[in-house]
């Protein structure tokens, strides 16, 4: 197997202005990385806290965020994120942040919280810019932290994924929810159980992720085009000029066996376009399309949304073309918004997408929600895709048109050089062989959802390795738990957390009225007109 079988070449990225690939002589990925999944916010926050506390004067901390709550605790009293970042800045760490400015709070966004986090970091000596260089109605959705250590490259690390530095994210495998919670749909209760994932990346890919931050930091476009926002900037004495960053250090040396490709989404902005992506970049979409063309046995997906027929058609095409191919999707049982207007807008795209998948794959498509042991639904915020236990992707991007074309997103596609020796050795039967990282990531998630402990013998038989075996195990677990609920919860609760996802019904008139708002507000398209016409990326 060659990396180009699964990963994009520099040309296939589709963005000639990108600086990322040129750093490595036009190679579009880096080899020799060590990548570890940190499942759930509590695991990520604990590791991030330790890494930040270990930084010394002259070290570098760079972060991006969609929402940041300054009082969110990383691990108990005294570990509020603003305090930890502020302490780092006060002892001489160079702290730089890019936080989405956000839409107005009256629309249930986070403008006030994001501004307060930036203010506290600036007061401690760091620098935090509120970045609104997006399309109208868009957001900066990237969520990553890069920590560099001059003279100590073995400590360099990047945390990349879908976990914001904000309320509701600090949950663990028990899924009791974050004590500091944000309100979402009533079905999830006052402390919504939250399923999330972040990657800890070490090795040369840290330099690639840092380069992505520097592209945005050095963007010469103004932080906002809105005159009203500029007035608010003046009123709040906001920092609007990015101070120069220190020169980028050489990439950390190789330390593992994973090849990592950094994929992004940037929209095409009509005014003050990105100088590093003047026509936008859709390498996340292109990376998925290339991997899906190679899918033969199993697509395992965890996604917050899973909607948009424009996007899902590529998954459906793979299912239609390969009669052995199965798809397992884990999604939220209910949208996060349940208002009279917002609920139909959030359902209409999901219903159409699942109809399309099931038309292509029939009973080879299985969709599940999660619940904790108390029976409370778990909000699935994770964005994970594993194909044939070879290619794995974790990032900020959801499976929808907004993430693939309209907002800024960042994702890591990982292909391990280490072959996994467990049966089946080559699920896709293309000669690629199952790879250790992708398979172990999928098994870790599956074992949690099935209430199974870690496998004892890494080389022994594990029925969950087999695409057919895990498909049956998920179906059996969900069927038993659904039956227990239907029977009034009598007797012992069956093990597992999976519930079969029941596609909701919308009255035809409600669906018709909701569709324009869904397309305009919920799942907009950020592609140039020519690409829209061809449904290309």
Three-state DSSP class for residue 498: strand
- CATH class in words for 281-534: alpha beta
Sorted by sequence, the CB contacts under 8 Å of residue 391 that are 6+ apart come out as: 6, 291, 294, 385, 413, 414, 415, 438
pTM to 2 decimals?
Answer: 0.95
CATH 3.40.50.720 holds for 3-266: no
Tokens of 391: 């290619």
Nearest to 208 by CA among 7, 24, 404: 24
CA angle 69, 176, 398 (to 5 degrees): 60
Alpha carbon distance 392, 211 (integer Å): 22
> β-strand 258-266 against 409-416: which pairing, if any?
antiparallel
The SS3 call for residue 469 is helix
Distance between alpha carbon 162 and the CA centroid of its chain, in Å?
4
**What are the sequence ranges of the domains in the chain?**
3-266, 281-534
CA-closest candidate to residue 213, choices 301, 123, 276: 276
Q: Look up residue 40 and give its two tokens.
A: 């759930």
Positive/negative CA dihedral, 96, 101, 106, 107: negative
Between the two ends of the chain, the Cα-to-Cα distance in Å is: 26
Contacts (Cβ under 8 Å, ≥6 apart) of 50: none
Rounded to 10 deg, the angle between the 436-449 and 467-486 helix axes is 10
User: Do 3-266 and 281-534 have matching folds?
Assistant: yes
Residue by residue, pLDDT tens for the chain (537 residues) are 899 999 999 999 999 999 899 888 778 999 999 999 999 999 999 999 999 999 999 999 999 999 999 999 999 999 999 999 999 999 999 999 999 977 554 444 456 666 788 889 999 999 999 999 999 999 999 999 999 999 999 999 999 999 999 999 999 999 999 999 999 999 999 999 999 999 999 999 999 999 999 999 999 998 877 666 666 666 666 777 899 999 999 999 999 999 999 999 999 988 878 999 999 999 999 999 999 999 999 999 999 999 999 999 999 999 999 999 999 999 999 999 998 889 999 999 999 999 999 999 999 999 999 999 999 999 999 999 999 999 999 999 999 999 999 999 999 999 999 999 999 999 999 999 999 999 999 999 999 999 998 765 555 579 999 999 999 999 999 999 999 999 999 999 999 999 999 988 999 999 999 999 999 999 999 999 999 999 999
Alpha carbon 118 to its chain's center: 23
How many CB atoms neighbour CB 374 within 10 A?
11
């Amino acid at each position: 197997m060659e990396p180009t079988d699964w990963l994009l070449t520099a040309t296939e990225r589709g963005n000639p202005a990108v600086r990322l690939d040129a750093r490595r002589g036009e190679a579009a990925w880096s080899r020799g990385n060590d990548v570890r999944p940190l499942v759930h916010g509590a695991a990520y926050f604990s590791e991030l806290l330790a890494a930040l506390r270990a930084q010394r004067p002259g070290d570098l901390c760079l972060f991006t965020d969609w929402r940041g709550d300054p009082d969110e605790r990383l691990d108990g009293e005294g570990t509020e994120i603003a305090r930890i970042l502020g302490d780092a800045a006060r002892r001489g760490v160079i702290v730089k942040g890019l936080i989405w400015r956000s839409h107005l709070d009256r629309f249930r966004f986070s403008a006030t919280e994001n501004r307060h986090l930036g203010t506290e970091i600036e007061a401690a000596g760091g620098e935090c810019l509120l970045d609104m260089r997006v399309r109208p109605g868009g957001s900066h959705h990237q969520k990553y932290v890069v920590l560099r250590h001059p003279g100590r490259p073995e400590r360099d690390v990047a945390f990349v994924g879908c976990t914001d530095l904000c309320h509701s994210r600090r949950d663990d495998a028990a899924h009791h929810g974050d004590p500091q919670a944000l309100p979402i749909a009533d079905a999830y209760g006052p402390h919504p159980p939250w399923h999330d994932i972040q990657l800890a990346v070490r090795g040369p890919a840290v330099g690639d992720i840092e380069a992505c931050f520097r592209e945005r930091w050095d963007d010469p476009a103004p932080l906002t085009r809105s005159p009203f926002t500029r007035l608010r900037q003046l009123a709040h004495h906001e920092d609007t000029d990015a101070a120069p960053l220190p020169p980028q250090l050489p990439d950390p040396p190789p330390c593992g066996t994973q090849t990592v490709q950094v994929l992004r989404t940037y929209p095409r902005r009509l005014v003050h376009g990105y100088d590093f992506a003047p026509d936008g970049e859709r390498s996340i979409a292109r990376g998925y399309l290339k991997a899906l063309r190679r899918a033969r046995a199993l697509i395992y997906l965890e996604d917050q949304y899973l909607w948009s027929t424009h996007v899902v058609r590529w998954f459906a095409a793979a299912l239609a073309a390969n009669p052995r191919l199965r798809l397992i999707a884990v999604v939220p049982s209910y949208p996060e918004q349940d208002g009279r207007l917002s609920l139909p807008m959030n359902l209409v795209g999901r219903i159409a997408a699942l109809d399309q998948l099931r038309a292509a794959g029939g009973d080879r498509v299985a969709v599940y929600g999660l619940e904790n042991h108390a029976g409370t639904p778990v909000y699935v915020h994770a964005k994970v895709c594993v194909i044939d236990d070879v290619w794995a992707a974790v990032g900020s991007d959801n499976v929808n048109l907004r993430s693939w074309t309209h907002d800024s997103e960042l994702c890591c596609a990982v292909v391990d050089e280490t072959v996994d020796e467990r049966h089946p050795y080559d699920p896709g039967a293309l000669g690629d062989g199952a790879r250790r990282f992708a398979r172990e990531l999928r098994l870790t998630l599956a074992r949690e959802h099935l209430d199974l402990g870690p496998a004892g013998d890494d080389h022994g038989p594990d029925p969950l390795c087999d695409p057919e075996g895990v498909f049956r195990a998920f179906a059996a677990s969900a069927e038993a738990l659904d039956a227990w609920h239907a029977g009034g919860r009598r007797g012992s609760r069956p093990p597992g957390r999976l519930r079969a996802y029941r596609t909701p019904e919308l009255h035809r008139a409600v669906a018709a009225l909701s569709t324009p708002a869904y397309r305009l507000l919920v799942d907009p398209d950020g592609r140039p007109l020519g690409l829209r016409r061809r449904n290309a990326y």
